[in-house]
Structures are given as C-alpha cells and as structure tokens.
Structure 1
C-alpha cells in the first residue's frame, strides 16, 4: 500500500555499470568468451541478474558455483583481466545520461557515484569519458574497494550509498549548508541488488534495468522496487548487527527494505527525458 509521499530530492547517487555506461554488456562479452573457450554455455540472465551490482568476491562466488570451469579462480581472473583491458576503454555513456547529469546540476541537485567496480576497472572504464565523469568530484566517487566499506558490506547492504551521502554532507558542512537526509536522496540503479541497497539506505530509487533483466523479473517489479526480492543474503553480511535495523535516519529506518507500492521507487525503461517533476526537482534545490 502507498505510504507518505517522499520529500523533495536534494541528492542523486549513481551506480555506474549498466546505468551510466554500457559496461554491463562488455562484462557479458568477456565472460562468454571465457565460457566458450572451455566448452561451457553462455551466461544466462538468471545468473547474471545475481551478479549485477555486487562486489567482485561475492559475484565471483555466485558465478563459479554456476559455471564450474576447469580452472582456479586465480586463472579465471587472469584471463578475465586480459580481455577487460582491451574492451573497457571502449565504454560509452548510455542514452540520456549526459542530459540527465547536466539537468541535475542545473537544478542544484548534489551528485555522487557509488559503484561496486574496483579502482583499477573504474579507471579503465572512465578515463576516456571526462565529459561524463566531470560531474562527479573525486571526493564524491565511492568505489567497491573503498577501505571505508567493511568486508562483506557491499551491495545489497546499504553501506556504499550511506558513505556516498556522507561525502556530500561533509562538503555541505564545510560550506555551512544543512545536511542532506537519506530520504532526500534518489538512487539510480540498473541492478536488483543495487535497488535493494538504496532502499535499505532509507533512500528513494529509480530502477532503470537492462531490457533482458526486466524480462527476468517480469511480474516481480513491485518486489524489486521495494527491495524485497531477497538479494540481501545473511552469509554476505558478515557484520550485520541487530541494531542496524533500529537506526533511524530521518523518516526511514536504515537497514530495512521498503514496502510494496510505497511510492519511494519507480521503474524507468530509459533515462532519456527524465521526469524531474515526479521527484520534486523541477526547481533548483538548496
């Protein structure tokens, strides 16, 4: 059921792979090249859906449990890295991304990045896209191997988005401006674990999935938007504590997902012609 309307958005927090840039398709290309070498079938979306948005170690475990390749994890990483070095410098912005970032900046919305990519891969995928990544100040770029994110606390845990918000608030504090609350943040995600991460951070969310992922979750869209698909796994959350769900941040509880049709998350099939009015950001924020 619908609950209270979310407040006006003051900050936009972005995932990267498959949301800002077309790297998710390149990841699939790399993986399928290796699978073909060893006579294994191509990666199905039922498995890829579980890998998206997660940090490398967790995604790697899920993948290798399925793939059963005749090689060590270390050898797989060697072959994967070699292919990625050739492909990742070819990433391109996805449709609507540059216009959206420019529109948010024009409206005074604060912007940060929260990607599960490690520093090495981030550089490969972003160094040639200065027109895009100029919108993200270095101090507002949170990567998957950031030491401030505890082990086992990657997406779908809320930590990375809460950390991204804290960097924005540190800047605002230095400027003598009021801090942004989690409920005033809009998380942009293409992955299901990523949406859950944003919802568990007590934030609003936009889910803009790959068309094949949308097919995979057909009929379950309300669950995804609420963060209720069960992607939050106890065995991944090595430092999960009972107190996490009792911490109040503004109007929403951090650590808990949302509710079905609560109005705090929306599905968009594209970022082209983004509906600013829907999120209360048609006029300049403070």
Structure 2
C-alpha cells in the first residue's frame, strides 16, 4: 500500500524530516529510508534511531510522529495509474480468467484507517477478508516483511474462498506481488511469487547497479545470521508447507520486473485478459 498504491511514503519522509529538523539533524537520506520501507514499525524504529541518534527516546519520537501523522495521513492520494489498475483487475471477475486480489501491508489498523479512510472508493477493490494488515494476529511476532508470511497469508485468504467454491487453489508461483520497497520485494520472492518492483526514483538511485539483487530478493534485507532459533524453526515449517517458500530467487530468473509507474500496466505480459 504505502508508496505503491498511495503517496504515504512521501508523507512518512515529510514527517520524519520535521522531527529531525527539531533537533538540528540532517534530512533522512535514501540509504536509510530504503531500510525503513515496508518493515514493521519496531524494526524500522530501531534502524532509524541507530542512525539518527536523537536526544529523545524512541517512545518520545513516536509521540511526535503520531501527532504529525494525524495531520498528514488523511491527505494521502492514489499514485499514478493505481485507480485504473485496480478497476481493471476487478473487472476480470466477469471473465473466465478472473484475477483475485488481496492487500498485504505492514501498516497497522489505525494507520491504515488514517491513510485510507477518505479513499473508500479506491480500497473497495479489496474486500475485508482479503486485507492483511501489519497487526493481523495470524502473522507471528517478528514475522513481518522481509519474511514471506504476510504474502502467504494474503494468498491463503484467496484460496480459502476458492476452496469453498470447489475451485482450484492458486499456487505461489501463479501470484504477482506489487511492491515499492526492497524488504517487500524480498518478502514476495521468499513467498515463491513473481514481483513487480515500482520504486521511488530516489530508492532506485540508492540501489543503482544492484537491481538484479533486489528483484531476486538477495539484498540481505533479512540476514540469516540475525535470525533466532525460533525464527529459523518457523521459517523451516513454513517452507515445508509451501514449496520454495522462505528462499529468495535467483538473479535473472525472470520472476522480478521493474516498472517506473503503474500507468499503462503491461497486462498481457502476465497473461491478464481484460474484458
């Protein structure tokens, strides 16, 4: 959602820079911003504070950010091409090759409502059962992006409906993840899914020369040596449930593509037939 469907990532940057300015700190560079995108709040907060070294606690920072979020998040707007893309995907439900869509976001319920409450028409494309938010209790603690769980759960919400209808389930490799953030791309690839990466120009510049690593989910956003024993056990269990889950892709394997915008999306490339 953030930075992919709506311009909330720009709002996050604006909010963060206002807090940094209060303490005479430099603006947030893309080298740090790239590490924050798509991650659950606790992990993002630690990365930010290790860099910013503000003279206030993370809790005090969060209070200041929350106040500014109340101001800026209700101003979020759809990014170029998004309304048309969602309308087109929903329209396939009337064909014999319907595309099923779900939302997988690290944003918690309160922030989701702040950002999307005034955009009901846009988000009606995602029915309530097919919205997986960052505080969904079905996502284990510490199992947010760049781990694959949120995308596998989003797929399960779709497959649950298909099973009820007696229809064939969708396999991970038949899924297409839309992402703007590097940890999110890794999450999609670790879920065994294809990924379209639509990065902010600043993010793309920060990863210049490493695009292949990003598309394969091999930037090291989730380092193996940092995993706890419990995380490794949970990932092995998840991998046993879904073939290929938990492992990144290979550079140049064709499962990842870069788009500069969601305008004029190449539906035919992914076998999507519009009515």
Count matched residues: 267
Shift of 1:247: 2.4
Runs of 4+ residues over 6 Å off in structure 1 = none
- Residues 36 and 236 of structure 1: CA distance in aligned 2, closer, same or farther (over 3 Å): farther
Aligned with 1:232 (options 206, 222, 239): 222
Q: TM-score normalized by structure 2?
A: 0.94
Question: Matched residues in 2 for 1:240 and 1:277: separation?
Answer: 38
Residue 57 (structure 1) aligns with:
42
| Structure 2 counterparts to residues 97-176 of structure 1, below 5 A | 97-107=82-92, 108-176=98-166
Shift of 1:177: 1.4
Which stretch has the larger CA shift, 169-178 or 230-239?
A: 230-239
- Residues 173 and 245 of structure 1: CA distance in aligned 2, closer, same or farther (over 3 Å): closer
**Structure with a larger share of its residues in helix:** 2
| Structure 2 counterparts to residues 1-286 of structure 1, below 5 A | 16-107=1-92, 108-234=98-224, 235=226, 239-241=231-233, 243-244=236-237, 246-247=239-240, 249=242, 253-282=244-273
CA contact (8 A) 1:54 1:193 kept: yes
SS of 1:188's partner is strand
Relative CO higher for 1 or 2, CA cutoff 8 Å, sep ≥ 6? 1
SS of 2:195's partner is strand
Q: Which runs of 5+ in 2 are unaligned?
A: 93-97
Aligned-pair Cα RMSD in Å: 1.4
Which stretch has the larger CA shift, 206-215 or 238-247?
A: 238-247
1:146-176 alpha-carbon deviations (Å, 9 max, x no partner): 1111111100000000000001111111222
1:30-59 alpha-carbon deviations (Å, 9 max, x no partner): 000000001111100000000000000000
Q: Which runs of 5+ in 1 are unaligned?
A: 1-15
Q: TM-score normalized by structure 1?
A: 0.90
- Residues 88 and 236 of structure 1: CA distance in aligned 2, closer, same or farther (over 3 Å): farther
